[in-house]
Amino acid sequence: MKILSGLSLEEIEKITDELHASKFRARQIHNWIYLKSVKDIDEMTDLSVKFREELKQVATVTDVQIKVKQVSTDGTIKYLIQYPDGECVETVLMRFDNRANLTACVSSQIGCAVNCSFCATGKRGFIRNLSYKEIIEQVLTIQRDTGLKVTNIVFMGQGEPLLNLDNVLKAMDIFNENFQIGARRLTVSTSGIVPQIYKLAENDMQSTLALSLHAPNSEVRRRLMPIENKYNMGELKKALKKYVEMTGRRITIEYLLIKDLNDTPESAKQLAEYLADIKCNINLIPYNPTEKNDYQRPSSNAIQKFKYLLEHSGKKVTVRLERGADIDAACGQLRGKVEGKV
Ligand code: SAH
Ligand code: SF4
């Protein structure tokens, strides 16, 4: 049985060829899958009943299942999606009353090897990479379930996208070509895998790179992110500057604010100094407490003060709006994904 979700037009043409149908049928099927997001072959109403029956003998729309779906009062929807091997990932759809944008937050791996001390995903360790088809299935699942078209995608779910770069790049190409989502509406978030940042820079996609920095100096960063021992902030800075030089794109710096750990005025000053010569915007993320550690979220006052101090450096600073706060937060980082002003 062929799974239609994730196939390119050429791959669908192979199926229609085998069924002795015209290439135009392949184009129709392609549109039904990616733009109209059907759940079933029977919904492909511009194909004849006879042809649909033939197609159903050899193909099906998808092989993933929605295990859990939670809808927040703010409209955020969180899905737990299960692949045929039984593994699950979380995917979140965020929508905003005042904007037409629908942002999908997708996972790139099952588990994560980077093991940041504040992150629920990292605690599980690394299980496996997702294939590009499994990545795009997350967005197709959202579209099929809601009947809506996703307009923006952020790789901020489970996993480290730059440690699964080939599949992530292939998925981004498909988002671009098949889903018709512009590269500028795609954001890849990384903990700072330096060699892969250089690789990404060579790729001339116009997508956005978000860097999870979370610390004003190496000492604090080592406590939060073991990756600092492998690629330190000095090397990271060189890679970020090269990325800006090669792509012309502004980087988004993500900075998790944790009470008394990295939210002091001195931290704001050091952070501003570190970022002074990097073309970037800064997104402050108030920490979402998870069960596994003692970190706390700073007070709103402390957050505003930190923001104010940083803004003096001339950078654009936003505080991330929390989304879906009332739905299960087993995976801490799946809450509060999107920029917004508080
Ligand atoms: N591995 C990549 C992308 C997935 S994590 C990365 O680390 O960038 C996406 C974002 O969620 C990261 O910025 C991460 O630091 C953040 N995050 C993880 N746990 C969080 C928590 N408990 N509260 C708030 N943000 C969290
Ligand atoms: Fe992995 Fe990102 Fe979580 Fe760190 S924050 S453990 S890199 S998913």
pLDDT at 121: 78
pLDDT at 109: 95
Tell me the DSSP string of 51-71: HHHHHHHHEES---EEEEEEE
- Indicate whether 227 and 320 sit together in one domain: yes
- Indicate whether 13 and 100 sit together in one domain: no
Ligand 1: distance of its center to the CA of 119 in Å? Answer: 7
- Indicate whether 30 and 150 sit together in one domain: no
Regarding the beta carbon of 333 and ligand 1, being less than 6 Å apart is answered yes
pTM comes to: 0.92
115, 155, 285, best to mutate for ligand 1 pocket (most atoms within 8 Å of CB): 285
- Nearest partner of 36 among 25, 24, 28, 48, judged by Cα: 28
Regarding the beta carbon of 122 and ligand 2, being less than 6 Å apart is answered yes
- Indicate whether 143 and 7 sit together in one domain: no
pLDDT at 327: 65
Tell me 334's DSSP state.
G
| Atom of ligand 2 lying closest to residue 189 CA | 2
Regarding the beta carbon of 288 and ligand 2, being less than 6 Å apart is answered no
If you take atom 8 of ligand 1, which residue's CA is the nearest one? Answer: 190
Per the structure, the complete domain to which residue 39 belongs is given by 2-60
pLDDT at 331: 39
The tokens of 194 are what? Answer: 């330096």
Give how far Cα 187 sits from Cα of 103, 120, 157, 161, 281, Å: 10, 21, 12, 11, 13
pLDDT at 75: 84
d(CA 203, CA 243): 10
pLDDT at 334: 46
d(CA 289, CA 186): 27
If you take atom 4 of ligand 2, which residue's CA is the nearest one? Answer: 116
Residues 311, 313, 314, 320: what is their CA dihedral angle, to the nearest 10 degrees? -40
Tell me 147's DSSP state.
-
d(CA 95, CA 105): 11
Q: Which of the listed residues 13, 32, 60 is the one where a domain comes to its end?
A: 60
Domain harbouring 233, CATH code: 3.20.20.70
Q: For this structure, is 116 an active site residue?
A: no
Give the amino acid at 309. L
d(CA 148, CA 33): 13
Regarding the beta carbon of 188 and ligand 2, being less than 6 Å apart is answered no
pLDDT at 190: 97
Tell me 18's DSSP state.
H
Tell me the DSSP string of 191-237: S--HHHHHHHHHS---PEEEEE---SSHHHHHHH-GGGGTS-HHHHH
**pLDDT in 10s for each residue of the chain, 342 residues:** 999 998 989 999 999 999 999 999 999 999 999 989 999 999 999 999 999 999 999 999 999 999 999 998 888 899 999 999 999 999 999 986 666 889 999 999 999 999 999 988 777 789 999 999 999 999 999 999 999 999 999 999 999 999 999 999 999 999 998 899 999 999 999 999 999 999 999 987 789 999 999 999 999 999 999 999 999 999 999 999 999 999 999 999 999 999 999 999 999 999 999 999 999 999 999 998 876 678 999 999 999 999 999 999 999 999 987 767 666 543 334 433 333 322
Q: Which of the listed residues 60, 81, 108 is the one where a domain comes to its end?
A: 60
- Indicate whether 79 and 36 sit together in one domain: no
Regarding the beta carbon of 290 and ligand 1, being less than 6 Å apart is answered yes
Regarding the beta carbon of 254 and ligand 2, being less than 6 Å apart is answered no
| Atom of ligand 1 lying closest to residue 295 CA | 22
Is-contact 189 254, C-beta < 8 A? yes
Radius of gyration of the chain (CA): 21
3-state secondary structure of 110: strand
Give the amino acid at 187. T
Annotated active-site residue in 228, 322, 331, 339: 331
pLDDT at 275: 98
Instruction: Give the HSE-up count for residue 312: Cα atoms under 13 Å, Cβ half-sphere.
Output: 12
The domain total for the chain is 2
Ligand 2: distance of its center to the CA of 116 in Å? Answer: 6
92, 109, 191, 224, best to mutate for ligand 2 pocket (most atoms within 8 Å of CB): 191
- Indicate whether 34 and 141 sit together in one domain: no
pLDDT at 330: 34
d(CA 235, CA 231): 6
pLDDT at 101: 87
pLDDT at 208: 95
119, 168, 227, 254, best to mutate for ligand 2 pocket (most atoms within 8 Å of CB): 119
- Indicate whether 45 and 69 sit together in one domain: no
pLDDT at 204: 72
Is-contact 130 89, C-beta < 8 A? yes
3-state secondary structure of 139: helix
- Indicate whether 132 and 14 sit together in one domain: no
Q: Which of the listed residues 60, 77, 93 is the one where a domain comes to its end?
A: 60
Regarding the beta carbon of 109 and ligand 1, being less than 6 Å apart is answered no
- Indicate whether 227 and 272 sit together in one domain: yes
Q: For this structure, is 280 an active site residue?
A: no
- Indicate whether 165 and 297 sit together in one domain: yes
- CA 179 remoteness from chain centre: 16
Annotated active-site residue in 13, 90, 228, 254: 90
Regarding the beta carbon of 90 and ligand 2, being less than 6 Å apart is answered no
| Atom of ligand 1 lying closest to residue 114 CA | 1
pLDDT at 291: 67
Domain harbouring 56, CATH code: 1.10.150.530
